[in-house]
A and B are shown apart, each in its own frame.
Chain A
């Protein structure tokens, strides 16, 4: 017989559903219900909510982060410094990360890297551990701007790790009139026909279209979203694919001419190969902050704190910036950067341009609207 979900029960594991399987499958009930969050078959300790007695930080730290965001070198340095092994899995958008965590596929991760607005959303869903500030070293080096960000007042749940912008990376040999703004995509769709990629990121891509219409990245007005949806739909036949990662190959081989990219992905390409230029649309783009958080299901909280502290060290932060090219909110690390990098206007855009950029903020109930329009755009 079909299991009954009681009217008030939720789909996430919780106690109210314990009668769910009664009389139906004793074996499963014994395993599954005795301890909702226990990870069967893994040697990891039970997840540490704050009551769990903290053990020595050791074992394996599973990290869930953006594709190409941490490299082996960082992990190796960390293991050398702390003796903790690091296993890194990657995701390609905030939403897929959230989906996986919600579906229960992320129970092994003790550290994740959500962006600003996703931090707020996850706090709302009670998925994040409130940070114990006494266990963090070096938080004071964070620049003033990130001391108490709107997405997480007082950094209660998150430590800002990196920031950057979203822009266009293009092949300057073929596109002789360089793009300057979002509308370039619509104006030059003949040249770009099926030779451009947009981010597979609902808030970034919808936001860019909203911005090109003169609206906010965080518009919640249904009419504005509808207009943006129509405009994006209009461009869709000219798009080769929606891709946040892995567009490099197609751009470098000449398959594509232009890609909408995160700065952290675009800048390395533009530095390696001057044919490809990164540009921040002059009417403004998004400026994002990615953070380090500890999910409430984290099995190895101690190691997660170790990782955060390790990354807060200015030396480590500076070296990571020089390898991976994201802007750092760490004031001391920034002071140590080479002049070349500090002068790189793609990495550290001038203030007047930054002023036009917008942070992506949670949109509350409009979330469903964004998702619906995005599903429609990708389904059309």
Chain B
């Protein structure tokens, strides 16, 4: 797959033996550099993905069963109302989380990038993304302590004489948990984008008589649009595939596509064919989101530098 390599730069201009040898060596060099990782990716990423593509076409395949023939039954089953509802729920959770992260994350990133004292900027940003370094399971678990009927939030509410809330095991708990988990990603990307903002444009806008609100919507937002798109994509894709939050906080009516897939393999159902088809649909949903970003957003969301 990755074997057809040749050097990019112009070695073989003089055709003598040494040059040919050198050319050969040069041809092998990329193989040495790219071969091992490429082999690993093909073996454990590409082949497995192709394999589930195939298995998704085997109706109701259970582990230990022989492949009897191919068909679209698994995909047709996904079209049943119950499972369509699962897909819709997953998409709703992901969309809602993305919006919440954007609404909460933008002011934070804006303040950090443009209004925070310069000396503290880095430290404050690090502080905000610090929770990302801790176990996502335990961070979600922390919310159980807060949200459960006898939890901290209700303790505070009842001390204040306010009516208690029953948030645990509801969709609200899922939104809260997911927003909590993925907000740092959003802030990180928006910050990178806002930090590059050309402040002279804002000054120019002000000079030309734009009020801050107009300047924000006509200058700041359009300039950071690629960052917004990248942040939204990252949060959307991550929350679409999230397993931990709906499992721990969502209760009985929060089946999402990733939980459903999990159950087809390590849960009750043991239907590998159906599970593979669901995985393909999940990959498809993610691909659509990415295609949209590539069309409208920043082509190289670089969150690492």
Indicate whether A and B are direct neighbours in the complex (CB within 8 Å): yes
Chain A contact residues, CB within 8 Å of chain B: 1-3, 5-12, 24-25, 28, 93, 95-96, 98-100, 102-103, 105, 125, 194, 202, 236-237, 239-242, 250, 253-255, 368, 371-372, 374-376, 378-380
Our pick among B47, B149, B150 for the contact of A2 (Cβ within 8 Å) is B47
Given contacts A255-B148, A255-B149, whether A378 and B66 have CB atoms under 8 Å apart is no
Q: How far is the CA of A253 from the CA of B50 in the complex (A)?
A: 49
CB of B158 closer than 8 Å to a CB of A: no
Pick 21 A–B contacts, CB within 8 A, sort by A.
A5-B54, A6-B67, A7-B66, A10-B64, A12-B64, A25-B43, A95-B270, A96-B268, A99-B267, A102-B64, A102-B270, A103-B63, A240-B169, A240-B252, A241-B252, A255-B149, A371-B271, A375-B263, A376-B82, A378-B252, A380-B253
Q: Are A2 and B169 in contact (CB under 8 A)?
A: no
Bound Cα distance A96, B260 (Å): 14
With both beta carbons as reference points, the residue of chain B lying nearest to A256 in the complex is identified as: B149
B61 interface residue (CB < 8 Å to A): yes
- B63 to A12, Cβ gap below 8 A? yes
A240 touches B267 (CB 8 A): no
Q: Which residues of B contact A99 (CB under 8 A)?
A: 63, 265-268, 270
Give the shortest distance, in Å, between A33 (CB) and chain B (any CB).
15
CB-based contact B47/A5 at 8 Å: no
Would you give the shortest CB distance from B265 to chain A, in whole angstroms?
6
Q: Which residues of B contact A236 (CB under 8 A)?
A: 252-253
Q: Is B251 an interface residue (CB 8 A)?
A: yes
Give A102 to B267 CA distance when docked, in angstroms. 11
> A242-B252, A378-B252 known; A9 and B267 CB under 8 Å?
no
Cβ of A103 and Cβ of B43 under 8 Å apart? no
* Alpha-carbon separation in the docked complex, A1 to B64 (Å): 23
Q: Which residues of B are found within 8 Å of A6, using beta-carbon distances?
A: 67
**What number of A-B contacts does a CB cutoff of 8 Å give?**
110
Chain A residues within 8 Å of B85, by CB: 379-380
A372 to B268, CA, bound (A): 10
Contacts of A11 in B (CB 8 A): 61, 63-65, 272
When the two chains form their complex, are residues A368 and B169 in contact, meaning their CB atoms are under 8 A apart?
A: no
Q: Distance in Å from the Cβ of B177 to the closest Cβ of chain A?
A: 15
Which residue of chain B has the shortest Cβ distance to A233 in the bound complex?
Answer: B82
The smallest beta-carbon distance between B266 and chain A, in angstroms, is 5
- The minimal Cβ–Cβ distance linking A242 to chain B, given in whole angstroms, is 6
Given contacts A2-B54, A3-B51, A255-B150, contact A10 B266 (CB under 8 A): no
B residues apposed to A, CB below 8 Å: 43, 47, 50-51, 53-55, 60-61, 63-69, 82-83, 85-86, 148-150, 166, 168-169, 251-253, 255, 260, 263, 265-272
Q: Return A263 CB to nearest CB of chain B, in Å.
A: 22
Residue numbers in A under 8 Å from B54 (CB-CB): 2, 5
Pick the 5 closest A-B CB pairs, nearest first.
A2-B50, A102-B63, A95-B268, A255-B149, A379-B255
How far apart are B68's CB and chain A's nearest CB, in angstroms?
Answer: 7
> Within the assembled complex, what's the spacing in Å between the Cα atoms of A1 and B46?
9
- Cα distance A102–B61 in the bound complex, in angstroms: 13
Q: Given A103-B265, A380-B85, answer yes or no on A375-B260 (Cβ-Cβ < 8 Å).
A: yes
Measured CB to CB, the closest approach of chain B to A60, in angstroms, equals 24
Assembled-state Cα–Cα distance A147/B255 (Å): 43
CB distance from B48 to the nearest CB of A (A): 9
If A194-B166, A240-B252, A255-B148 touch, does A375 touch B43 (CB 8 Å cutoff)? no
Q: Which residues of B contact A379 (CB under 8 A)?
A: 82-83, 85-86, 255, 260
Contact indicator B68/A194 (Cβ below 8 Å) = no
Is the beta-carbon distance between A368 and B60 smaller than 8 angstroms?
A: yes
CA A5 to CA B67, docked complex, whole Å: 7
**Contact with B150, one of A24, A253, A372 (Cβ below 8 angstroms):** A253
State whether A2 touches B53 (Cβ < 8 A): yes
Contact A375/B251 with A25-B43, A28-B43, A255-B150 known, Cβ cut-off 8 Å:
no
Contact between chains at A374 and B51 (CB < 8 Å): no
